[in-house]
Structure 1
Amino acid sequence: MKPTWREQVFSVMAAIPAGRVTTYGRIAAMADGVTPRMVARALRELPAGHGLPWYRVVTASRKLADHPGAAEQRERLAAEGVVLDGRGRVPVERLWP
């Protein structure tokens, strides 16, 4: 049985290594028939206590999306050594894959 699109998104997200980030679009490209908007939707709908590294997902411009958890996302990324540049972007060398 083929995994649902959400399961595909969560599987890709779980594989993002610590200290690295990926984009909504890159996750979508790794999942069958998924769009970046669907990835964002899946992240918004994560259940409490899920344990997935949602904070390692950024926009195509390598910036944090505008959402209520952005401050926490910035803190978690910094704890993994991912520091945003002066324009608020993740350094390109931190992109995965």
Structure 2
Amino acid sequence: MQASWREQVLTVIAEIPHGRVTTYGRIAAMAEGATPRLVARALRDLPEGHGLPWYRIITASRRLADHPGAAEQRERLAAEGVLLDARGRAPAERMWP
């Protein structure tokens, strides 16, 4: 039996390396049956204290999505050396995969 799209999405998120970022769309492409919106939904549904690096996921334009955790996301990325430019974009060389 094949893993559900949600399980696949969570597996991909767990694999995002320290200091790198990826997009909702890239994750969706790696999980059969997922879409970028479903990736966002899976993130919203994560339980408190889950430990997945949710903050390493950004939009296709390499910006942070507009959500309540965006300030924390920016701080966590900066702590890993992912600094956003003046336009709020992550460096292309930090993209994974």
TM range (shorter): over 0.9
In the TM superposition, what are the counterparts of 1:72-91 in structure 2 within 5 Å? 72-91=72-91
Flag structure 2 segments of 5+ consecutive residues without an equivalent: none
CA distance in 2, matches of 1:4, 1:33: 8
CA distance in 1, matches of 2:5, 2:30: 11
The ranges of structure 1 where at least 4 consecutive aligned residues each deviate by more than 2 angstroms after the TM superposition are none
> Percent of aligned pairs with the same residue?
78
- Look up the match of 1:66: 66
- Look up the match of 2:55: 55
Flag structure 1 segments of 5+ consecutive residues without an equivalent: none
CA distance in 2, matches of 1:33, 1:2: 11
* 1:56 to partner: Cα distance: 0.1
Q: TM-score, normalised by structure 2?
A: 0.98
Q: TM-score, normalised by structure 1?
A: 0.98
Aligned Cα root-mean-square deviation (Å)? 0.5
Matching of residue 25 in structure 1 with residue 25 in structure 2: yes
Aligned partner letter, 2:62? R
